[in-house]
Amino acid sequence: MVNALLLFLLVMFVAIYWHWPKLQHRFWLNKYHGNQLSEQQKTLLLRYMPIYQKMTDADREKLERHVVWFLNEKRFIGCDGLKLNDAMKLIVAADACLLVLNKPWPLYKNVKEILLYPSAYYAPQTSTDNAGLVSYHNTVRQGESWPGGTLVLSWHDVLEGNRLPSDGHNLVFHEFAHQLDQETGKTTGTPVLAKTTDYKEWARIFSRAFTLLKTHVAYGMPHVIHSYGATNEAEFFAVITETFLEKPNDLRQYDPEIYSMLVGYFGFDPIKWH
Ligand SMILES: [Zn+2]
């Protein structure tokens, strides 16, 4: 009798564990059923999020549902005296949710909180030189993404990213792309892909494009992807995400192969929003 009960509990546990993402999604659908962005919130997005203006009605409605969920499930904290308001949270949430518009649930399963600073902030950094000498200094930062699920953003730079929608820079896209990358448990520039067979092709295209950018940067040749992407593979993924969303036509022309790889990964083609 005890063995039968234990077996039953084990089967139930495995079934719940296996179906957890679907159960959680259904729970959220019920929880936020009927919750919508207010007309005031939609007006704010129309004013501050250029891509939102150009989305199809269906894409916009899907984004709005994601934003409602994000605003309710993720914690925002104002830092360095910043008084948070609804517009700040709304714009960060909308930019973040755009990246996962067509991703399967759970979305941003590791993200817990977003720390907002008024502008670029100082962060302590430790570095070691070739002789092994450790030094401590402060660096100025616009944002960070921590593997534990915390993001740090400069509000000034969040706004700048949205004010200039075609320059290839958007802080929220950049830092949340790092979160997608970090969902694998490492920060390598390769996020979780739909099928295990996809990794080989991703590695081939990604590594070729990364090498190409490093070459273009090293020889001072023109490149559509910002040179910061040549820092390492993780930064390359974050920067190509910004380029993909903000300069899709240029990226497709510069490197059609990586462009179509990103269309496949994100599940949308941002050219239709430009
Ligand atoms: Zn970065």
- Report the separation in Å between the CA atom of 6 and the middle of ligand 1, taken as the mean of its atom positions: 47
Q: Is the pLDDT of residue 3 over 90?
A: no
Could you give the dihedral angle defined by the CA atoms of residues 200, 144, 52 and 75, in that order, rounded to the nearest 10 degrees?
Answer: 110
- Report the separation in Å between the CA atom of 144 and the middle of ligand 1, taken as the mean of its atom positions: 7
pLDDT digits (tens, 9 = 90+) for 132-142: 888 888 889 99
- Report the separation in Å between the CA atom of 106 and the middle of ligand 1, taken as the mean of its atom positions: 23
User: Taking the mean position of all CA atoms in its chain, how far away is CA 25?
Assistant: 19
- Report the separation in Å between the CA atom of 249 and the middle of ligand 1, taken as the mean of its atom positions: 23
**CA–CA separation, 15 vs 165, rounded Å?**
45
- Report the separation in Å between the CA atom of 237 and the middle of ligand 1, taken as the mean of its atom positions: 9
Percentage of the chain beyond pLDDT 90 is: 78
> Can you give the pLDDT at residue 124?
78
Strand partners, 78: 116
The per-residue pLDDT of the chain, averaged, comes to 92
- Report the separation in Å between the CA atom of 35 and the middle of ligand 1, taken as the mean of its atom positions: 33
- Report the separation in Å between the CA atom of 252 and the middle of ligand 1, taken as the mean of its atom positions: 22
- Report the separation in Å between the CA atom of 235 and the middle of ligand 1, taken as the mean of its atom positions: 5
Residues 6+ apart with CB under 8 A from 71: 89, 90, 93
- Report the separation in Å between the CA atom of 238 and the middle of ligand 1, taken as the mean of its atom positions: 6
Least confident of 18-22, 86-90, 111-115, 234-238: 18-22
pLDDT digits (tens, 9 = 90+) for 99-114: 999 999 889 999 999 9
Are the C-beta atoms of residues 66 and 97 closer than 8 Å to each other?
A: yes
Domains belonging to the chain, first-starting first, are 25-127+135-164 (1.10.472.150), 188-274 (3.40.390.10)
- Report the separation in Å between the CA atom of 190 and the middle of ligand 1, taken as the mean of its atom positions: 14
- Which residue has 């959680």 as its token pair? 24
3-state DSSP of 177-232: HHHHHHCCCCCCCCCCCCCCCHHHHHHHHHHHHHHHHHHHHHCCCCCCCCHHHHCC
Q: Is the pLDDT of residue 252 over 70?
A: yes
Q: Among 46-50, 194-198, 241-245, which range has the highest average pLDDT?
A: 241-245
- Report the separation in Å between the CA atom of 20 and the middle of ligand 1, taken as the mean of its atom positions: 31
Are the C-beta atoms of residues 234 and 209 closer than 8 Å to each other?
A: no
> Can you give the pLDDT at residue 130?
80
Give the global pTM: 0.90
pLDDT digits (tens, 9 = 90+) for 15-61: 666 777 777 778 777 887 778 999 999 999 999 999 999 999 999 99
pLDDT digits (tens, 9 = 90+) for 63-76: 999 999 999 999 99
